[in-house]
C-alpha cells in the first residue's frame, strides 16, 4: 500500500457554479433577466413580488420560480396575479441550487423578460449558491432589525441590491433606516438600496424601474 498526496484545489461548489454559468449563458443573451431574492422567512418576498407584478406585468412579461421547503402556496399567490409561476419544494433543504432551476428552464416561456426566483426563506445558506442570476437582491424587513447586515455578511456582500421591506412599520419600530443602510454599505459599497412597502406601494415604481434598467444594460452588454 502506497500513500499519495494529491493537490486538488477544486471549488467544492464548482459543479453548482458550472450549472449556474450555463443558465446565465443561456438566459442573459436571450434577454431574460434572472433576479434572485434572498431573505429570512416572513420578510415579505412574496408580497413584494405580488406588488411588482401589478406594476411590471402590464408592460413586461414576467415569470416566477418559488422555492420553499413545503407547499405550493406561494406559487398560487403569484398565479392569482396572472403571472406564470412554478413551485420548487425542496423537501427540507434550506436553499435552492442551480440544477433545480436548470430542470425548470424548458418550461419557462421564451418571451419571458424577467424571471424572479424567490429563494427559500433563509439569510444564510442561499447566499452560497449561484442560481445563474444576473441580479441578486437581499431583502431586509423593518421588524427584523437594523443590525442584520453585519450578522449575515455573506448575503449582503454578494448582493447587488438591498430592498428594505415593510417600511410602513418603521414609525412603530426602533428601526434606524440610516443605520441599516450604512451597515450594509460598509459590507458592500456597491449595493443599491430601495425602501419599500408592499402594503402601501412605497418604492415599488423605483424598484421596477431599476429592474427594467438592469435588463436594458444586460441586453446592451450582450448585443
Partner 1 sequence: MHELSIVASLFEILEEKAREQRAERVVLVKLKVGKLSGVVPEFLQSAFEIYRQDTIAASSSLEIEVVPVRIKCRKCRSETLKDDFVFTCPSCGSNDLEIIEGTELLLDKIDLEV
Answer positive or negative: Cα dihedral of 136, 119, 61, 132: positive
* Residue 15 makes contact with partner 1 by CB under 8 A: yes
For 165-196, b/e burial (b = at least 16 CB within 10 A) is bbbeebeeeebeeeebbebbeebbeebebbbb
The one segment of 11-19, 102-110, 136-144, 197-205 that binds partner 1 by CB under 8 A: 11-19
Query: Residue 158: exposed, middle, or buried by beta-carbon count in 10 A (0-12, 13-18, 19+)?
Result: middle
Residue 34, interface with partner 1 (CB under 8 A)?
Answer: no
Mark 174-193 with x for binding to partner 1 (rule: CB under 8 A) and - for no binding: ------------xxxxx---
Among left, alpha and beta (phi > 0; psi -120 to 50; other), residue 7 is: beta
Among residues 2 and 178, whose Cβ is nearest to partner 1?
2
Q: Between residue 103 and residue 142, which ones bind partner 1 under the rule CB under 8 A? A: 124-125, 127-129
Residue with cell 446565465: 24
74 binds partner 1, rule: CB under 8 A: no
CA 203 to chain centre: 17
Q: Does 5 bind partner 1 (CB under 8 A)?
A: yes
* 21 versus 59: smaller Cβ distance to partner 1: 21
Q: Does residue number 223 form part of the binding site for partner 1 (CB under 8 A)?
A: no
- The CB-of-98 to partner 1 minimum distance in angstroms stands at 12
53-74: burial string, b at 16+ Cβ within 10 Å, e else: bebbeeeebbbbbbbbeeeeeb
Pick 125 or 199: Cβ nearer partner 1? 125
150, 179, 200, 209: which one binds partner 1 (CB under 8 A): 150
Does the protein bind partner 1 through residue 3 (CB under 8 A)? yes
Q: According to CB under 8 A, which residues from 78 to 97 bind partner 1?
A: 93-95, 97
How many residues bind to partner 1 according to rule CB under 8 A? Answer: 35
Q: Give start and end residues of each alpha helix (H) in 43-176.
A: 45-56, 73-79, 98-104, 148-151, 153-158
Does residue 58 belong to the site contacting partner 1 (CB under 8 A)? no
CA distance 151 to 154: 9
Q: Which is nearer to partner 1, 171 or 189 (CB)?
A: 189
2 is a site residue for partner 1 (CB under 8 A): yes
Q: Could you give the CA distance from residue 223 to residue 90 in angstroms, rounded to a whole number?
A: 36
Residues that bind partner 1 (CB under 8 A): 1-16, 93-95, 97, 124-125, 127-129, 150, 153-155, 157, 186-190
Amino acid at each position: 500500500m502506497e500513500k499519495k498526496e494529491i493537490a486538488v484545489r477544486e471549488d467544492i461548489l464548482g459543479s453548482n457554479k458550472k450549472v449556474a454559468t450555463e443558465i446565465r449563458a443561456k438566459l442573459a443573451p436571450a434577454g431574460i433577466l434572472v433576479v434572485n431574492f434572498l431573505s429570512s422567512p416572513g420578510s415579505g418576498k412574496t408580497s413584494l413580488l405580488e406588488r411588482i407584478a401589478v406594476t411590471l406585468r402590464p408592460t413586461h412579461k414576467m415569470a416566477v420560480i418559488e422555492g420553499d421547503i413545503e407547499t405550493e402556496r406561494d406559487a398560487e399567490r403569484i398565479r392569482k396575479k396572472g403571472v406564470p409561476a412554478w413551485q420548487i419544494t425542496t423537501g427540507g433543504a434550506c436553499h435552492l441550487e442551480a440544477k433545480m432551476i436548470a430542470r425548470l428552464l424548458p418550461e419557462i416561456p421564451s418571451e419571458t423578460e424577467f424571471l424572479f426566483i424567490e429563494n427559500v426563506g433563509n439569510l444564510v445558506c442561499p447566499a452560497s449558491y449561484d442560481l445563474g442570476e444576473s441580479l441578486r437582491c437581499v431583502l431586509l424587513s423593518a421588524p427584523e432589525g437594523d443590525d442584520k447586515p453585519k450578522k449575515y455578511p455573506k448575503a449582503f456582500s454578494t448582493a447587488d441590491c438591498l430592498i428594505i421591506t415593510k417600511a410602513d412599520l418603521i414609525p412603530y419600530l426602533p428601526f434606524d433606516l440610516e443605520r441599516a443602510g450604512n451597515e450594509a454599505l460598509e459590507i458592500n459599497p456597491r449595493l443599491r438600496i430601495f425602501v419599500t412597502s408592499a402594503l402601501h406601494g412605497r418604492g415599488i415604481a423605483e424598484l421596477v424601474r431599476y429592474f427594467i434598467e438592469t435588463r436594458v444594460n444586460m441586453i446592451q452588454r450582450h448585443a
